[in-house]
Structure 1
């Protein structure tokens, strides 16, 4: 840990160019601080565990990792605010300890995400750039007992979200993490919306365009219909080791044909596992009116297959205190460190800042005299 992290947050303020003249007593954490962007998170580079188009992830401790966004987590904040209002907890949703506009503190999952796991089971072309290309074959298939457990956990998470009045709207293996006991944890709620909003930013095979009705040529409104369709594609990917029609490279070679097939409900042949195939088909054909019924049916039909989960007990209050201590220690920069200090320290810095500003103005003034 760097020296700046070992010092109390209030000491960090003295070591930066202070604009303390504009500080006022703060009664709650700062909502948004643009000046934090260039500072980023002052933890070691080797602690980075992931990066993406919208956010980067660092490991702050053995149980906590902060995500910092390249733009504010506006949608995710709304979802977590609603989640915090709920007394019950869903063990299949990633635990969030603190949610700020630019930073979110989550429970650490050491076994990466499902997309990486399935990617390692595949053989793909290697392009000249060194990047991986088209699928050649699936070298290994996932254990059905794990697939059954994961689909139970994922459908349970979606049913819980539905109870809150929300849809996830971005079901994909990359958004499902695995903890130390290989339990699935649904994460990444940056596209989560209340039920009944227009579904945007999706393409087959994760969504299907409507062919008739007042919403023709759109993906429709977010609902159990859109969630279960994506869930069917998710289950297909786990069972068959690749996305629908990826084995014939339809997405790369003829994306228009891929869209036509899904719009016409011409789905790939299902012939690998009787129970899983039936669940995939049911989701693709919009059999279930609610996600609660999806979760019930999935659990009922896979109860004899699924390996039993082993959840680690998370002390939410303890982990949240640890997150606050990290912020106070300067993990997210001096301004947020100050905002999380006790009220008397914030008042002290307000007074000190105004005094220093006044003193500087006075020195500048008298220096103008010969």
Structure 2
């Protein structure tokens, strides 16, 4: 998602083009009326992010609401069920929600963008060891609940100052479910004959692969195989042909272990 301040009219005009390649294309007439309702009754509110299935509405510097683009959107409904589970024992490295009701999730706002935003900035602090610990803690805690995040990538990792939190749980899966969501290099395709979805069976192995690719990105500033496109990149990942790391470097040692 990309941050901005949009009105409902701007959303209505742009949504057909924005979702044209989504699994659920949306016309202006399809938009969830809750979006317009919240923007109307809440002064100074705006649309600050748009995804393939939902929007984020900004109310204050600390609070946003996720609303499905269409009424009853299954992705937001699924994410609510995940937060029902995760909130039973809150984790400090996972985005916290304040209130959930049909079609709406009110949650904390992390004002300093995504990991992808931060890595693109010049002369900004990169607390790599701290971020590695926080992201690993989030993934391990989700796993302790019998689930995986299922789509760990730089756009789903959020920052507030130098504190990192993992968000976007609309693709979370149970361990051992087929994994079909993601994009290289944060997932690795299956070899012919392997079980599972397009990217294998969801579990510690798939999450650790995502983490290793994220840690590479944090330390290098570029994605693994950023200069290789298409099928060649896919094949190298499937065959586990990874770039060399420095075994004497403690961070590289962790990356190679993932």
TM-score class, shorter: 0.7 to 0.9
User: Could you tell me how far 1:50 is from its partner in structure 2?
Assistant: 2.3
- Is residue 84 of structure 2 the alignment partner of residue 81 of structure 1? yes
Which residue among 196, 206, 211 is the counterpart of 2:186?
Answer: 206
Give the aligned partner of residue 235 of structure 2: 260
CA distance in 2, matches of 1:93, 1:240: 25
User: Could you tell me how far 1:112 is from its partner in structure 2?
Assistant: 1.4
Give the aligned partner of residue 276 of structure 1: 251
Give the aligned partner of residue 196 of structure 1: 176
User: Could you tell me how far 1:237 is from its partner in structure 2?
Assistant: 0.7
Q: Report the TM-score when normalising by structure 1.
A: 0.55
User: Could you tell me how far 1:230 is from its partner in structure 2?
Assistant: 0.5
Q: How does 1:41-60 map to 2 (within 5 A)?
A: 41-42=39-40, 43=42, 47-60=46-59
Alpha carbons 1:55, 1:67 under 8 Å: kept: yes
CA distance in 1, matches of 2:125, 2:245: 16
Which residue among 169, 172, 184 is the counterpart of 2:164?
Answer: 184
CA distance in 2, matches of 1:45, 1:119: 29
Cα gap change, 1:44 to 1:271, in 2 (>3 Å) = farther
3-state secondary structure, aligned to 2:199:
coil
CA distance in 2, matches of 1:226, 1:58: 32
User: Could you tell me how far 1:142 is from its partner in structure 2?
Assistant: 5.6
Alpha carbons 1:169, 1:191 under 8 Å: kept: yes
CA distance in 2, matches of 1:244, 1:103: 36
- Is residue 226 of structure 2 the alignment partner of residue 226 of structure 1? no
User: Please, what is the CA RMSD of the aligned residues?
Assistant: 2.5
Give the aligned partner of residue 149 of structure 1: 130
Cα gap change, 1:41 to 1:47, in 2 (>3 Å) = closer
CA distance in 1, matches of 2:207, 2:156: 14
CA distance in 2, matches of 1:159, 1:217: 22
Q: Spell out, residue by residue over 1:59-104, the C-alpha distance to the aligned partner (whole angstroms, 9 max, x if none).
A: 21232111222142122012011123x2x32111111111234211
Cα gap change, 1:188 to 1:223, in 2 (>3 Å) = same
User: Aligned pair count?
Assistant: 223
Alpha carbons 1:176, 1:187 under 8 Å: kept: yes
Give the aligned partner of residue 297 of structure 1: none
Q: Spell out, residue by residue over 1:38-71, the C-alpha distance to the aligned partner (whole angstroms, 9 max, x if none).
A: 5453245664432222222222123211122214
CA distance in 1, matches of 2:146, 2:36: 36
User: Could you tell me how far 1:221 is from its partner in structure 2?
Assistant: 1.1
Alpha carbons 1:196, 1:223 under 8 Å: kept: yes
Q: Report the TM-score when normalising by structure 2.
A: 0.77
CA distance in 1, matches of 2:196, 2:90: 38
Unaligned runs of 5+ in 2: 1-31
Cα gap change, 1:142 to 1:257, in 2 (>3 Å) = farther
User: Could you tell me how far 1:271 is from its partner in structure 2?
Assistant: 4.4
3-state secondary structure, aligned to 2:85:
helix
Unaligned runs of 5+ in 1: 1-33, 122-139, 284-370
Give the aligned partner of residue 107 of structure 2: 106
CA distance in 1, matches of 2:201, 2:255: 21
Alpha carbons 2:54, 2:67 under 8 Å: kept: yes
